Amino acid sequence: MKSHALWHLSSEASEIAEEELPEEMRDQLLIESVYSMISMGTERQVALGMVPPDVQEAMKVPYMDGSFSFPCKYGYSLVGKVVKGPPSLTDKFVHVMHPHQDMAWVDPLSVYPIPDDIPPYRAVLAGNLETAVNAIWDSEISIGDSILIAGFGIIGALIASLASGIAGVRVTVFEKNEFRSRKAIQSGYDIYTNGEPTGQIFDAAFNTTADAGGLQFCIDNIGYEGQVTEVSFYGARQISVLLGGSFHTARKKIIVSQVSRIPGKKLNRWDHLRRKDLVFNILKNVNYDSLIGNVIPFRDAPGMFNRLRNNSVNEISIVIKYR
């Protein structure tokens, strides 16, 4: 049985390669992919070969093959239909952390059955929404806060949606990209499109830009003892920010939010399954359909990764369609 997977061959090239799958695998599920989402920040760094050696083990994902030194296949949000498995799952749509691949055998314990009232194309947001949930938890924002979000890609947009659902919270977005800034305005958020001082003092900020300028903008525009929650993955890149001035005198702080672990203060009550249940309950809201950006056929995925490497993608999100 043939399958096809997206492989990154080098920091300059990707391709879809044919693979042989077993006809049967005991106690495994055969899934036929329908959608997967490219997580543009992290997957761009992977495709560029920019994952530092000291974090490569932690950055591995289920069903990844190869290595970060190339070649490798990588990805972590895929929705498929179970075509072989127990009757309770056969013909059901499931979400799984898996590289971009059109058919795959997976462990039943690694899949999450998608509720019937969530369409498969929306369910592919689950991986990024878990990142946004962790960011909200790490930020400790509360009722009435004024929030600044730098970057309106998929992570910034999801954080904005979650934060604006808290009573009295007002969200402002900093986004230089014209396409994304228009999307932020259409979504009802105040917007800044240049790096000049805003004249506002925000209670908290999130940086999702993977750019030093976005992080500096957040630092400069939060108030006394304000916190910047850094959600970006910079890979092997070094960045420079100014930590003198008000960062020092106003006792500001930067913390990092990362999705693979539940924040420590939640661990006595939350685990990954409870967080996944929360995410899929949130995704029952049809408004999340507006965050499904550019949908491309699987055959176009190598070209899209070339655009990502060149930083020439304007979309909020990129979804791969297999069927």
Position 62 scores a pLDDT of: 95
pLDDT in tens, 106-165: 999 999 999 999 999 999 999 999 999 999 999 999 999 999 999 999 999 999 999 999
Q: Do the beta carbons of residue 292 and residue 319 sit within 8 Å? A: yes
245: left (phi over 0), alpha (psi -120 to 50) or beta: left
Rounded to whole angstroms, how far apart are CA atoms 187 and 282? 17
Rounded to whole angstroms, how far apart are CA atoms 45 and 38? 12
Rounded to whole angstroms, how far apart are CA atoms 242 and 255? 16
Rounded to whole angstroms, how far apart are CA atoms 243 and 228? 13
Q: Which CATH class is domain 128-264?
A: alpha beta
Average of per-residue pLDDT across 170-187:
96
Q: Do the beta carbons of residue 292 and residue 121 sit within 8 Å? A: yes
Q: Identify residue 18 by its one-letter amino acid code.
A: E
Read off the pLDDT band of 237 (50, 70, 90): very high
Residue limits of CATH 3.90.180.10 in the chain: 2-124+292-321
Rounded to whole angstroms, how far apart are CA atoms 39 and 153? 10
CATH number for 2-124+292-321: choose from 3.90.1010.10, 1.20.140.10, 3.90.79.10, 3.90.180.10. 3.90.180.10
Average of per-residue pLDDT across 74-98:
97
Share of the chain above pLDDT 90, in %: 96
Residue limits of CATH 3.40.50.720 in the chain: 128-264
Position 197 scores a pLDDT of: 75
Asked whether the predicted pLDDT for residue 66 surpasses 80, the reply is yes
Asked whether the predicted pLDDT for residue 261 surpasses 80, the reply is yes
Q: Identify residue 284 by its one-letter amino acid code.
A: K
Q: Do the beta carbons of residue 138 and residue 169 sit within 8 Å? A: no
Single out the residue of 159, 262, 265, 137 nearest to residue 218, CA to CA.
Answer: 159
